[in-house]
């Protein structure tokens, strides 16, 4: 299968490496960066969970023409960068291709559909997905696999078809265990609840994931955040159980104990976080369905305030305004 992975961050690099190892015709597409240059020069260094290191030859580029002839495009950029990342590829991606988002939060599929639509109204089919795989970027040209997990993919309004099943099989054979499901929205909201509970609290407290489970105050705050997300999901017709979600938050926090959430990494780097697509999206959806979410509102405001303190964030936002 001819595949383009959009986003040369930790997860994009990991998924592209797994597909390349399995012999798929994969290209990693990303912005020019020292990381991308290192991959082009030396291949990607993949550090496994047991510490083993291996070099993976991988085609990496910033040339949008790389999407020409793609059968599958997997999007793994930060949620706020979705439209900007996919727009240069719009004309190159074949109409018959499938575009799969494995990003965090809500709104990514809608952003892809809007950005990929051509003047004649045609666009590739957009598929939804979530993954509990975890990875961190190391030095330029290096990615560290920090957590194994399951990936679920589905279609917005129908059950799995032959295309979806083939994609799930391709990812699974490549070492990214994947299931094609008929209730993808429940999977998306379930992961949203876990992210909404863990990410902002670890970022604000400056602690690894395990503290969400071991610290009494953080555990209580995480449970409150998760229950609010569950209430909004239920109001949207998504069948989630609050007790099950709270248990999942604690399970994930323990299983990824030494990991530092991506939101914490972003704040430490002075970068923009995904708060708007995670807790901010819960606030927006809560207002739409008239479900109060005061805890999600509070952490959204606090993370946004932390972002504004960063010179790097301010420079980034100014450059986007200028563009």
CATH classification at residue 44: 3.40.50.720
177 shares its domain with 219:
no
Q: Are the beta carbons of 261 and 303 closer than 8 angstroms? A: no
Given a cut of 80, is residue 260 above it in pLDDT? Answer: yes
Q: Cα-flanking dihedrals φ and ψ of residue 128, to 5°?
A: -100, 150
Do 20 and 47 belong to one domain?
A: yes
Whole-angstrom distance, CA of residue 11 vs CA of residue 29: 13
pLDDT beyond 70 at 296: yes
Tally of structural domains, the chain: 2
**Whole-prediction pTM:** 0.92
Selecting among 191, 219, 272, 306, the annotated active-site residue is 191
Q: Are residues 165 and 268 in the same domain?
A: no
Residue 321 lies in a domain: no
Query: Catalytic residue at 78?
Result: no
CA 307 and chain centroid, separation: 19
Domain boundary among 151, 182, 213: 182
Q: What does the pLDDT read at residue 182?
A: 95
Determine what percent of the chain is predicted with pLDDT higher than 70: 96
- Flag whether pLDDT at 154 surpasses 90: yes
Least confident of 70-79, 209-218, 250-259, 292-301: 250-259
Residue 208 is part of which domain span? 185-315
Q: Which helix (H) or strand (E) holds 40?
A: helix 34-42
pLDDT number for residue 314: 56
Q: Are residues 166 and 46 in the same domain?
A: yes
Average pLDDT over the chain, rounded to an integer = 94
Instruction: Classify burial at 161, counting beta carbons within 10 Å of its beta carbon; exposed 0-12, middle 13-18, buried 19 or more.
Output: exposed
Residue 107 pLDDT: 95
Distance CA 211, CA 208 (A): 6
Q: Is 1 exposed, middle or buried (0-12, 13-18, 19+ CB in 10 A)?
A: middle
The predicted structure's pLDDT at residue 317: 59
Residues 175 and 190 in one domain: no
Same domain, 142 and 33: yes
Mean pLDDT over residues 93-106, rounded? 96
């Amino acid at each position: 299968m001819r595949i383009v992975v959009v986003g040369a961050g930790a997860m994009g690099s990991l998924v592209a490496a797994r597909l390349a190892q399995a012999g798929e015709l994969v290209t990693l597409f990303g912005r020019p960066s020292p990381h991308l240059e290192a991959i082009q020069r030396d291949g990607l260094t993949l550090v496994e969970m047991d510490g083993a290191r291996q070099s993976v030859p991988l085609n990496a580029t910033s040339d949008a023409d790389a999407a020409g002839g793609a059968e599958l495009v997997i999007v793994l950029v930060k949620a706020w960068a979705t439209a900007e990342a996919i727009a240069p590829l719009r004309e190159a991606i074949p109409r018959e291709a499938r575009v799969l988002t494995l990003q965090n939060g809500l709104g990514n599929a809608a952003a892809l559909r809007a950005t990929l639509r051509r003047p004649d109204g045609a666009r590739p089919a957009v598929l939804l997905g979530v993954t509990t795989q975890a990875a961190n970027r190391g030095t330029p040209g290096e990615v560290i696999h920090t957590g194994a997990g399951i990936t679920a993919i589905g279609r917005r309004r129908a059950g799995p078809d032959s295309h979806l099943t083939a994609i799930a099989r391709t990812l699974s054979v490549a070492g990214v265990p994947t299931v094609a499901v008929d209730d993808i929205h429940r999977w998306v909201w379930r992961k949203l609840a876990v992210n909404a509970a863990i990410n902002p609290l670890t970022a604000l407290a400056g602690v690894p994931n395990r503290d969400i489970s071991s610290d009494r105050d953080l555990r209580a705050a995480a449970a409150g955040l998760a229950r609010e997300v569950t209430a909004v999901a239920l109001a949207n017709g998504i069948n989630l159980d609050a007790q099950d979600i709270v248990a999942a938050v604690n399970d994930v926090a323990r299983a990824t104990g030494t990991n530092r959430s991506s939101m914490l990494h972003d704040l430490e780097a002075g970068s923009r976080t995904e708060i708007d697509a995670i807790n901010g999206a819960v606030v927006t959806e809560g207002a739409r369905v008239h479900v109060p979410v005061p805890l999600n509102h509070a952490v959204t405001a606090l993370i946004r305030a932390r972002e504004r303190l960063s010179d790097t964030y301010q420079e980034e936002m100014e450059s986007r305004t200028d563009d």
